[in-house]
């Protein structure tokens, strides 16, 4: 008897669903490149290069893995709310901001989703998973939002608009006036502030006036907890109540919950690292630009996007990789000839510069 093809039980577009292209684990990369993990310079994923304070690591170690996490996230939501000056009823936490994007899309179930491209690939990826059409509104000069294009996308059926601010990979933040203009649209407006702590600007004050505004934040970047996957949404209490109702019950693990709360308790120490990263971003951008064949775009995040001149960006990234220096290159036409480089420690910048001199055209 022939085996049953299991794909016949899947949704009709299952074979056409895209795969998200994440960065590879360090151990796998080290083996591929032939460079020990300790010698890799990882500037491809916008991770925080500094270790969390001892109190945060102690909180992780003290978390009891035998016990299920609090499904209501009571202590974590209260701590986040106190930090941002909102009500705990306006906060929902998740397994990274990606989890919250998925929850919003499942809750809204839009026919179409709009984003201002080039931008974070998870919006288009999760839109496809949700069965929604993804409408791209290309950014204009200086990577500014095309407000008219986003209005047109909403008029064409987009029920959710995603805007990253600061934007990944271009690095620029949107103005509060632009966010307010978007909130006038008949759609949920999701502002992804994964890098807001490096910019020092947030749309949180706009929540009081706009019930259709959802702000996403994360502990991955500024707090250096990317591996624990803790993010959160801040929005109207009525919307958050529904998000909490449909989320996976235990979507924030006990170690992540404890680490995030400890990070908020010790944020002064962590923001010293944030300031160091911002300073190194500026040094790195200036020093790389001074080489004469890469031009940095202004950035409000913990990375910078560079135009590559006189060389193939893919070849440059490959040459750096062979030397143990990892940067991010994209296959999208609107990012052709560009590299995104995370801000690391001073010694990481020095290794980057040395490797760039070796691969210079």
CB 161 within 8 A of CB 137: no
Tens of pLDDT along the chain (361 residues)? Answer: 568 888 888 888 888 888 888 877 888 888 888 888 889 999 999 999 999 999 999 999 999 999 999 999 999 999 999 999 999 999 999 999 999 999 999 999 999 999 999 999 999 999 999 999 999 999 999 999 999 999 999 999 999 999 999 999 999 999 999 999 999 999 999 999 999 999 999 999 999 999 999 999 999 999 999 999 999 999 999 999 999 999 999 999 999 999 999 999 999 999 999 999 999 999 999 999 999 999 999 999 999 999 999 999 999 999 999 999 999 999 899 999 999 999 999 999 999 999 999 999 9
Q: How many residues are listed for the chain in this entry?
A: 361
Q: Would the pTM count as exceeding 0.85?
A: yes
Q: Where do you find CATH 3.90.1150.10 in the chain? A: 6-51+268-359
Task: Give Cα 54 to chain centroid, integer Å.
Answer: 25
Q: For the domain 67-265, what is the CATH code?
A: 3.40.640.10
Kindly report the CATH class assigned to 6-51+268-359.
Answer: alpha beta
Q: Where do you find CATH 3.40.640.10 in the chain? A: 67-265
């Amino acid at each position: 008897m022939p085996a049953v093809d299991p794909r016949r039980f899947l949704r009709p577009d299952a074979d056409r669903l895209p795969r998200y292209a994440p960065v590879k684990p360090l151990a796998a990369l080290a083996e591929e490149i032939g460079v020990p993990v300790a010698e890799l310079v990882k500037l491809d994923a916008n991770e925080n290069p500094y270790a969390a304070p001892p109190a945060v690591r102690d909180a992780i170690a003290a978390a009891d893995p035998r016990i299920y996490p609090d499904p209501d996230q009571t202590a974590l939501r209260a701590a986040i709310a106190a930090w941002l000056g909102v009500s705990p009823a306006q906060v929902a936490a998740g397994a990274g901001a990606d989890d919250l994007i998925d929850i919003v899309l499942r809750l809204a179930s839009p026919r179409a989703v709009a984003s201002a491209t080039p931008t974070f690939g998870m919006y288009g990826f999760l839109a496809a998973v949700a069965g929604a059409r993804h409408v791209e509104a290309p950014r204009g000069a200086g990577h500014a939002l095309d407000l008219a294009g986003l209005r047109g996308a909403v008029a064409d059926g987009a029920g959710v608009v995603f805007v990253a601010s600061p934007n990944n990979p271009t690095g620029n933040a949107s103005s509060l006036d632009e966010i307010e203009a978007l909130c006038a649209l008949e759609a949920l407006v999701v502002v992804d502030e994964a890098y807001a702590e490096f910019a020092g600007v947030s749309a949180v004050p706009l929540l009081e006036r706009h019930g259709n505004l959802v702000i996403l934040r994360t502990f991955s970047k500024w707090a250096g907890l990317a591996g624990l996957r803790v993010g959160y949404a801040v929005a109207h209490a009525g919307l958050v109540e529904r998000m909490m109702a449909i989320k996976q019950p235990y979507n924030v693990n006990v170690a992540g919950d404890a680490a995030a709360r400890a990070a908020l308790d010790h944020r002064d120490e962590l923001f010293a690292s944030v300031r160091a990263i911002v300073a190194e971003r500026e040094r790195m951008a200036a020093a790389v630009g001074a080489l004469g064949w890469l031009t940095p775009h202004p950035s409000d995040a913990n990375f910078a996007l560079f135009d590559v001149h006189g060389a193939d960006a893919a070849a440059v990234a490959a040459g750096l990789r062979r030397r143990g220096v990892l940067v991010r290159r994209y296959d999208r036409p609107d990012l052709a000839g560009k590299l995104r480089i995370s801000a690391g420690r001073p010694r990481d910048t020095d290794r980057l510069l040395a490797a760039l001199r070796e691969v210079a055209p």
